[in-house]
Amino acid sequence: MADRSAPNTRLIRLQREAGLSGEELARKVNAAGREMGVPLRYGRASVSQWRSGTRPRPPVPDLIAEVLSRSLGRSITVADAGFTEGPGTVPSQEDALDAVARLDRLSASIDRGPEYVFTLHGLAAPPWRPGAAPPASRRRPYPMMRVGRSELDAAEAMLDVFSAAEALHGASRVAPFLQEYLHRPMALWLRCPSSTDTRRRLLRTAARLAYLGGFAYFDLEEHGLAQRFYRVSLLFAAEADDAWGYAVTLRAMSVQAFSLGHHGPALDLSAAAVDTAPRATDHVSKAFLRGQLAVTRARQGDRESAIGCLRSAERHMESATSRPGPPAYHWAALAHQRAVVRDLLGDRRGATQDFVNAVRWRPSSERRSTALLYARLAEHQLSGGELEPAAVNWHRFLDIYPSIRSGRARTALAVLRARVRPHSAHASGRYLLARATELWRLPSKAP
């Protein structure tokens, strides 16, 4: 921490306006840190130091500004909070960059470690405006090569490879290579001359790769980075006139917001995804979007609309004659969403059956999702007082756990240990806890 000679009057004023005690501000900063994958343990004494003029190390000033923004309902910059500007939450700096420049910036920040704060400002996705290409002068084309069919085929093949590997092994074993692929060949090709059709297809593939990068960092629970990759995906989709790609990314942003407890923005994003999708979208893809809208509406207590969205998704799945490419969607995924909706609406028995079906129907190629579903089913069963069935499904989760590297799986393991610890007097609980503790000592990320 760097010391200052005068009290931070701006922070003092904003903290007072927000009605936050020192303990509350510290707790919210710690929570915002977890959203970007940075464990923090600040307390009231730390806030007193900030108020007295001590500047914490990055990214904490950005986290403080974000907490104040959420509490006050308006954008608060790092400078507004009495600190010098940091790299993570200055929208004007990021918004001035095109998608390729943002990829360059993201790559540099990943090399330096966690930097980007997840912001509510970043959830305010711009409305769909097709063909929003940057001026030609900002593309900075490299005349030494022309991108053609071979580069396009390679990019589309790599999208399939990364998608399959991420679903099977988890994000940690894929994210660094995906980020490098976006930063090196893809960024170069997007700056090179090409035909109009080739460029459009390359942009669509770049949008899906950036989407996958966002999902990978979401799985790693580095939500600030995930949010930036999602917003890059939106830019690529808009420039490619790809309304479907834009809708898919809005849905992913809704899933992320929902998982972090930002339920209002999650609903807005899921509704925008449905509205943005082209009318000619295939049935499976329509179900993919409406299932998430059902979840967000159920969380808001809108029972009728949530059930209506589920029924619409089911009708689309029944009418489907083909399956789209990444992201994959199937009856198992819809069963999972139906389980969440029923759980939120108080139908415990129906939710249990849907969780069971979601696990049974999940393809074997989606190992990480299967593990997470076993953990979610076990948590649901234990909440209903069913220790033995919960232990069975948690053991199934633990069977898969060593073969994947996933931040969400690591969190599920932590939840397992916390939930089972009070039941350690029971033999099944004691054995489960011992096995989970042994696996907890394994590295959480792949080298």
Q: Please report, in tens digits, the pLDDT of each residue of the chain (447 residues total).
A: 545 568 999 999 999 999 999 999 999 999 999 998 889 999 999 999 999 999 999 899 999 999 999 999 998 999 999 997 544 444 445 666 788 888 888 877 776 666 789 999 899 877 787 655 554 434 555 656 889 999 999 999 999 999 999 989 988 889 999 999 998 899 999 999 999 999 999 999 999 999 999 999 999 999 999 999 999 999 999 999 999 999 999 999 999 999 999 999 999 999 999 999 998 889 999 999 999 999 999 999 999 999 999 999 999 999 987 665 557 899 999 999 999 999 999 999 999 999 999 999 999 999 999 999 999 999 999 999 999 999 999 999 999 999 999 999 999 999 999 999 999 999 999 999 999 999 999 876 544
Q: What is the pLDDT of residue 135?
A: 45
Q: Which amino acid appears at position 446 of this protein?
A: A
Identify whether the C-beta of residue 117 lies closer than 8 Å to the C-beta of residue 62: yes
CA-CA distance, 310 to 316, in Å (whole number)?
10
CA-CA distance, 218 to 313, in Å (whole number)?
25
Identify whether the C-beta of residue 219 lies closer than 8 Å to the C-beta of residue 406: yes
CA-CA distance, 284 to 203, in Å (whole number)?
23
3-state secondary structure of 434: helix
CA-CA distance, 326 to 366, in Å (whole number)?
13
CA-CA distance, 118 to 211, in Å (whole number)?
16
Nearest to 58 by CA among 121, 123, 109, 119: 109
Identify whether the C-beta of residue 384 lies closer than 8 Å to the C-beta of residue 347: no
3-state secondary structure of 384: coil
Nearest to 342 by CA among 370, 309, 365: 309
Residue 428 contacts by C-beta under 8 Å, 6 or more apart in sequence?
387, 388, 391
Q: Which amino acid appears at position 68 of this protein?
A: L
What is the reported pTM?
Answer: 0.91
Tokens standing for 292?
């998430």
CA-CA distance, 118 to 243, in Å (whole number)?
25
Tokens standing for 27?
């707790």
Q: What is the pLDDT of residue 98?
A: 85
